[in-house]
Amino acid sequence: MPQLVNGVWEKGDVAASEMKGGAFHREPTSFRTWITPDGSPGPDGQPALAAEPGRFQLFVAYICPWASRTLMMRSIKGLTDIIPVAISEPELGDNGWTYDPPADAGPRVGPVRHQHELYTASDPRFTGKVSVPVLWDRKEGRIVNNESADILRILNGAFDGITGDRRDLYPAHLRPEIDRWNAVIYDTLNNGVYRAGFARTQSAYEDAVTSVFATLDRLDAHLAHNRYIAGQHLTEADIRLFVTLVRFDAAYHGAFKCNLRRIADYAHLQAYLRDIYQWPGVAETVRIVHIKRGYYSIAHINPTGIVPLGPDLDFASPHGRDGLPSAGIAGRG
């Protein structure tokens, strides 16, 4: 995968640092500034900017589950008129994430064709992977944050005073349960499918796939008795799980060889997937055509570039989960 090296875009498989012993290891993100209602420091003392309508922008790709997390939170929290979004082309080629036509990044930077232009505008000597999502400051022309987990929390609360939406997808009383599930879902499922798909040894692949399906089995049993991951309330844990589930049968089952079972083979996970998809504002963040085009364009996984016609997916059918206790989204105290 190409990347920036001292501010210069290098094509080819120069991001081999993510491979160790034939197994895939995800690089840490680099930009971690926060946004808060008044510019006070973030939850762990991070430097922060004050929330303003129209100042900040998301750069994303529909193919990417990490980016889709932020699109879901933006939609659920009513931020679509507050934070504009730029959508990349789904194929990740030699030039990385590409905007066609170029995306407007504000008066300081202007139109950008490639995602790496945002990185070098923020740090002219940047070295590392160029990823989506990016939370961008249009006023100062720099990246605020490129860690999707941070961006979820920022969008969950920083703009409440502007929108009046006091719903909380990371409520204090559920944080231990959310954090517990987040850790499991990230390691073995969100990132687990990538460890399977990008593995370069049989043992690394089998270890990853075994963990993926052990977690899916566990989640299916849990969701037999719980409407959402943390119980009765929709939380960020559901967002983080949904983005992997919705891609699974379309991409991970085939392109990443996670083919022991489909999500369609799990009664409770399939119903849960439909339940979340039908939540107001969620369906518009999913583009299955982009997802398939993107994953099947990865050359070393699919050298022919042929995109499969199937599977035939139906997320709009009745989910049958209304009998499980549901309290919607918790309010902020």
Catalytic (active-site) positions:
64, 194
Other beta carbons less than 10 A from residue 229's beta carbon: 28
Other beta carbons less than 10 A from residue 42's beta carbon: 19
Cβ distance 16 to 198 under 8 Å? no
Closest CA to 263 of 204, 296, 223: 223
Partners of 136 in the beta sheet?
A: 57, 143
Residues in contact with 99: Cβ distance below 8 Å, sequence separation at least 6, in sequence order: 86, 87, 88, 89, 112, 113, 114, 115
Closest CA to 210 of 191, 190, 196, 194: 196
Residues in contact with 312: Cβ distance below 8 Å, sequence separation at least 6, in sequence order: none
Fill in the amino acid letter for 149. A
Cβ distance 148 to 131 under 8 Å? no
Cβ distance 75 to 302 under 8 Å? no
